[in-house]
């Protein structure tokens, strides 16, 4: 997934501590794969997406194989989505500031429509914050963890 923008908009974003207080400090209904997210994060109800992807198992397998983070979800996710009826990919708005050094970072939601009409989501953080500026992806089981991982790539406060 990449649609590297030419011009990067500037915006003020909450600190890591503020994000943790906002999203992890309060009551969070459920944990792990398929956990409910607060409505403020724009949760979608199954049926509002088209789910055009046909081979969910292969898509999940390829996504996880590309992930470079050691804490990525495991093969159990591939098994979970075996019976999924489709998948959809959406780029999410950034919850973190853009660095001034021209580096690039984007967050994608990979939503799988399960056989029971529930949705299982994986979050792909794509960035070029590597020594050789190679584009890599990291995969996380929830949007908050992916957003916090993206904060690692902020320029240091001086």
Q: How far is residue 49 CA from its own chain's centroid?
A: 17
Q: Model confidence over 37-77: pLDDT tens digits?
A: 443 344 555 557 788 888 999 999 999 999 999 999 998 99
In a domain, 157, yes or no: yes
Kindly give the parts of the chain with pLDDT less than 70: 1-47, 94-103, 153-158
Instruction: Tell me how many domains the chain contains.
Output: 1
pLDDT at 123: 96
Instruction: Residue 75: give the domain boundaries.
Output: 56-158
Whether residue 117 lies inside any domain: the answer is yes
Q: What pTM, to 2 d.p., does this model score?
A: 0.67
Give the DSSP H or E segment for 60. Answer: helix 56-66
Task: Supply 3's token pair.
Answer: 């649609």
Taking only Cα atoms into account, the Rg of the chain, rounded to an integer number of angstroms, comes to 16
How far apart are the C-alpha atoms of 90 and 29, rounded to whole Å?
Answer: 23
Residue at 23 is within a domain:
no
Q: Is residue 33 part of a domain?
A: no
């Amino acid at each position: 997934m990449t649609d590297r923008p030419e011009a990067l908009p500037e915006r003020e974003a909450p600190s890591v501590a503020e994000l943790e207080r906002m999203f992890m400090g309060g009551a969070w209904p459920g944990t792990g794969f398929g956990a409910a997210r607060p409505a403020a994060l724009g949760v979608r109800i199954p049926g509002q997406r088209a789910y055009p992807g046909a081979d969910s198992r292969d898509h999940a397998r390829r996504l996880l194989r590309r992930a470079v983070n050691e804490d990525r979800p495991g093969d159990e996710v591939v098994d979970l989505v075996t019976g999924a009826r489709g998948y959809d990919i959406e780029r999410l708005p950034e919850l973190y500031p853009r660095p001034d050094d021209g580096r690039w970072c984007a967050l994608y939601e990979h939503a799988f429509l399960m056989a029971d009409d529930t949705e299982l989501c994986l979050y792909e953080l794509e960035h070029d914050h590597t020594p050789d500026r190679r584009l890599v992806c990291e995969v996380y089981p929830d949007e908050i963890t992916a957003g916090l991982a993206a904060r690692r790539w902020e320029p240091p406060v001086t």
